[in-house]
Structure 1
Amino acid sequence: MTQLTIVANIVAKQDKIDLVKQALIKLIDVTREEQGCINYDLHQDNESPEHFMFYENWQSRALWQQHMNNKHLAEYMATTEGAVESFTLNEMTHIG
């Protein structure tokens, strides 16, 4: 099993920064309790407060996919519908 690193970039619409931030914060504790979660760390850009980034490590891609199908992620999507300008996700492998 290969560990999986996820880098997720979320850019909120200017008038929805607080809404998106609060919705993202709600994901942290519940996700850290999930099977396979090594770390799940949320960051906010110092120069562009609308830009958030999750840095995550999972024991496997299969366990990360279970996370992606969990209820709290669906609730986040519903809460932030129309509030996110862009979202990019990179699946990465640690090489050194």
Structure 2
Amino acid sequence: MAKLTIIGRIQAKPDKIELVRKELLKLIPETEKEKGCIQYDLHQDHKDPAFFLFFENWESKDLWQNHMNSEHLKAYLKATEGCIQDFVLNEMTQIG
């Protein structure tokens, strides 16, 4: 099975940028320890600091699904409840 690439786009509410940034950064060390995590990179836009992007690579969809059910992701969702303006998640496969 091909590895799974995830693009996660997070738009924080303008008055919640620093809180969201802090909580997103907390996810990195825990997620990088997870089975199946190949790459888990967080980016912040230069012109729109409320826009964050995760670029992730996972060994399989099942292992990524374990991440989506992890305790640290649940803690992030609770901590940022009401702070996110928009969230888009793309599940992708590299084709070239």
- Bin the TM-score by the shorter chain: over 0.9
Query: Structure 1: any 5+ residue segments left out of the alignment?
Result: none
String of CA shifts for 1:36-78, please: whole Å, max 9, x gaps: 0000000000000000000000000000000000000000000
Once residues 77 and 87 of structure 1 are traced to their aligned partners in structure 2, the CA distance between those partners, rounded to angstroms, is: 12
The list of structure 1 runs, each at least 4 consecutive aligned residues, that deviate by more than 6 angstroms after superposition, is none
Which residue in the other structure is 1:65 paired with?
A: 65
**Structure 2 segments unaligned to the other structure (5+ residues):** none
Q: What are the Cα deviations for residues 17-54 of structure 1, in whole angstroms up to 9, with x where unaligned? A: 00000000000010001000000000000000000000
Task: For residue 8 of structure 2, give the secondary structure of its aligned residue in structure 1.
Answer: strand
Alignment-derived partner of residue 10 in structure 1: 10
Percent of aligned positions that are identical: 56
2:49 paired residue number: 49
CA RMSD of the aligned region, Å?
A: 0.4
Tell me how far apart the structure 2 counterparts of residues 72 and 9 of structure 1 sit (CA, whole Å).
18
| 2:91 aligned partner | 91
Which letter does structure 1 place at the counterpart of 2:11? V
Give matches, 1:23-38, under 5 Å: 23-38=23-38
Partner-residue secondary structure (3-state), 1:48: coil
Q: Name the counterpart of 2:79.
A: 79
- Normalising by structure 1, we get a TM-score of 0.99
Whole-angstrom distance in 2 between the partners of 1:32 and 1:38 = 8
Q: How many residues align?
A: 96
Shift of 1:2: 1.5
